[in-house]
Amino acid sequence: MANLTLTASNQALAWLFGLSATGPSGDLQAALVTAAGTASAAGTEVTGGSYARQDLTVAAPTGGATSNAAEIVFAGMPACTVVGVEVWDSAGTPVRFWFGALDTPRTVLAGDDVRFAAGELDFSLS
């Protein structure tokens, strides 16, 4: 899942070249999508059931990459097919930073849980 949004790319370049100290506001959260997004447009986020975005913590980066540090559980899902994950901050008006397709879409039944084991979601800048 190595896709930066255009917003994140611009913020990273501004930080790298000393133009800004901007970064995500609040906790980062993982969101599930049923239709993939692009660098400039969000995907179609899951709705219904008990679905809610989940807090995301990541391990210390090494080799230009990191991954989720703890299991992420989306409980009580609606019936749907999840095709990707997006990462948003938790600002009053949330900003999307990452997007990516799952290696294999996950079809879930109403009430199912979707789980990502620690280390399953990979983020890379290399």
Structure token digits, residue 43: 């995907």
- Average pLDDT (106-115) is 98
Task: Record the pTM.
Answer: 0.90
Q: Which residues face 55 on adjacent strands?
A: 29
What is the Cα–Cα distance from 87 to 5, expressed in whole angstroms?
10
What's the Cα-to-Cα distance from 6 to each of 11, 46, 85, 94, 97, rounded to whole Å?
9, 22, 16, 15, 8
What pLDDT is attached to residue 15? 79
79 lies in a domain?
yes
103 Cβ contact list (under 8 Å, min separation 6)? none
36 lies in a domain?
yes
Higher pLDDT, 117 or 62: 117
22 lies in a domain?
no
Task: Name the range with the highest mean pLDDT among 4-8, 77-81, 121-125.
Answer: 77-81
100 lies in a domain?
yes
What is the Cα–Cα distance from 55 to 84, expressed in whole angstroms?
16
66 lies in a domain?
yes
- Domain tally, the chain: 1
Q: Do β-strands 96-108 and 3-4 pair in parallel, antiparallel, or remain unpaired?
A: antiparallel
What is the Cα–Cα distance from 84 to 105, expressed in whole angstroms?
7
Full domain range(s) for residue 70 = 3-17+27-124
- Average pLDDT (81-104) is 94
